[in-house]
Chains A and B, each alone.
Chain A
Amino acid sequence: MALLDIAGVSVRFGNVPALRGVSLSVDAGEAVAVLGANGAGKTTLLRAIMGRVPVEAGTLTLDGEAIGDMRTSGLVDRGLSLCPEGRQLFPAMSVEDNLLLGANRAVIRVARARLATIYERFPWLRERRSVLAGAFSGGEQQIVAIGRALMAAPRLLLLDEPSSGLSPVAIARVREVLGQVRETGTAILLVEQNVQLAAAMTGRGYVLNRGVIAASGETAALVDSEALADAYLGGAA
């Protein structure tokens, strides 16, 4: 049984369909990519999984449990965690406060234990724990955002465009951090426009084009696929 199973999910904003019958799955410990251009519906897909937009049709299950109507807090309790597009840190709060917010569903003793683990894994965060998150560069903020998402101790980490707006050096650093996350066995659903990063981080993937899954398979094969070229260059969905 897949850890996350999405079947025929549709989302609509007013009269505009954002997702149409999307189906995909992620197994425990697996890393899966969703590739597509701007406006393909990638962020909407992640927001639907996290209960942030209403699902019009279809089913979402986590470890066999239906989660389509669940509140975000319940989803976090069950092991889902989103690292959102644009980082969405709290700029007037310290790195440590941002990290602790990632574990807001846990009791403080557990949150502190997770913080110690995160600091051990990413010493850079410990060194800057008192610095305001808004003072960092985009790449540094991305690492804080990933750390914050990991503070929820997720079984499945949802990553929305972690390379967006970053320099090649910063992307390499994010890639290194994601590699460390992979080593822990945490499953990843990676939404990306950067196909090189996606191919390096994931084994399997989907191409999302105008709200529809246009292709699926090994990520490396999808990178050179016609479906992906259509998705990026404006071919028919």
Chain B
Amino acid sequence: MLQQALVNGVVLGALFALLGVGLTLVYGVMDVPNFAQAGVVTLGAYIMVTLHQAAHWPFFLAVAGGVVAAGLISVATERFAYRFVRTRPLAAPAVALGLLLILDNSALELWGGDHVSLTPPYGAGLIQLGGMTVPAVGVALVLTAAVSMLLLWLLLTRTGIGRAIRAVSQNPEAAATLGIELERQYVTAFFISGVLAGLAAFAYAPTYAVFPYMADGVIFDGFVVVILGGLGNVWGAALGGILLGLVESLSAVYVSAAYQTAIGFVVLLLVIVLRPAGLFATTARRVA
């Protein structure tokens, strides 16, 4: 039972990490608590379902379409909303929550409130791992999260785009003085965050139903992950995600499934009290 709980925890943690990494990227660059990312996940999932089931696109092409669309929706939230509160940080959380409502209700208006499913070709598959049974969708989720984070890390640390994003996260005015276009970095960060939300939709939707408020609960776990890992710390968010997933999964087995999420928040409170900068934070402001 312990082994199965650990496996479930890693799968759940991979989802949290995928969400948390996108949140921490945007927070690192723009100081915005991007609650609207849950709405981006939802719209991304609906677009995948529509492209696959209504437009009859092949499954992975539909997923790619949904991921790109999620990236563009995320950019739209920056262009049409967040950019206007960049110098007013106190307004950003309210704008973020408002955007989440707009995106969720857009999904409700466009697709209705019924639960639908996104079923991948491997949807019913089960994989045996040393006596444990792991659904293929869970394996796909973990692989998606791992590959996404590796690619994001390579992008941030090995490319000019990544260097510019990291520079803006640490000192935007100094970056601008070097000729780095801040607006371009904000748009890029939101696009990447949206793509990660789209990938989270791909990873999340086959296990859970697609409905207008599908990611509103799990986005709070994403924020717990961000705080656990240290704001702006991509690897911290990844490790924080796995940690939270394991805590919640083990809590469900050994305490009660009813307290699973609550225990995650207890861990958050402990981290805030004992290590306010996060478990994996450095002293300098960073993204990577």
Contacts and interface: CB of A to CB of B under 8 A. Distances in A.
Contact of A104 (B170, B180, B284, B288): B180
Contacts of A132: 284
B170 A101 contact: no
B174 A52 contact: no
Contact of B166 (A52, A84, A90, A148): A90
Contacts of B174: 84, 88-90
The residue among B174, B177, B181, B282 with the most chain A CB atoms within 10 A of its own CB is B177
B112 to A, nearest CB: 47
A52 B167 CA distance: 17
A120 B180 CA distance: 26
A134 B254 CA distance: 45
Contacts of A76: 178-179
Contacts of B180: 73, 101, 104
> What's the interface size class on B, roughly?
20 to 34
Contact of A152 (B164, B166, B179, B288): B179
> What's the interface size class on A, roughly?
20 to 34
Nearest to B286: A92
B178 A92 contact: no
Contacts of B160: 100, 104, 108, 111
A234 interface: no
B179 A92 contact: no
A92 B175 contact: no
A102 B163 contact: no
Interface in B158-176: 160, 163-164, 166-167, 170-171, 173-176
A91 B178 contact: no
B285 interface: yes
A182 interface: no
A93 interface: yes
A75 interface: yes
A104 B178 CA distance: 8
Interface string A68-87: 00011101110000101000
Interface in B219-249: none
Given A90-B167, A90-B170, A101 B181 contact: no
Given A91-B284, A92-B284, A92-B285, A82 B166 contact: no
B176 A93 contact: no
Contacts of A71: 181
Nearest to B168: A90
B24 to A, nearest CB: 14
Contact of B164 (A52, A104, A148): A104
B179 A88 contact: no
9 contacts: A50-B177, A72-B177, A72-B179, A73-B181, A88-B177, A91-B284, A100-B160, A104-B180, A148-B178
Interface of A: 50, 52, 71-73, 75-77, 82, 84, 88-93, 97, 100-102, 104-105, 108, 111, 132, 134, 148, 152
Given A84-B177, A93-B163, 9 more contacts: A52-B173, A73-B181, A82-B177, A90-B174, A92-B170, A100-B160, A104-B164, A104-B180, A134-B284
Interface of B: 160, 163-164, 166-167, 170-171, 173-181, 282-286, 288
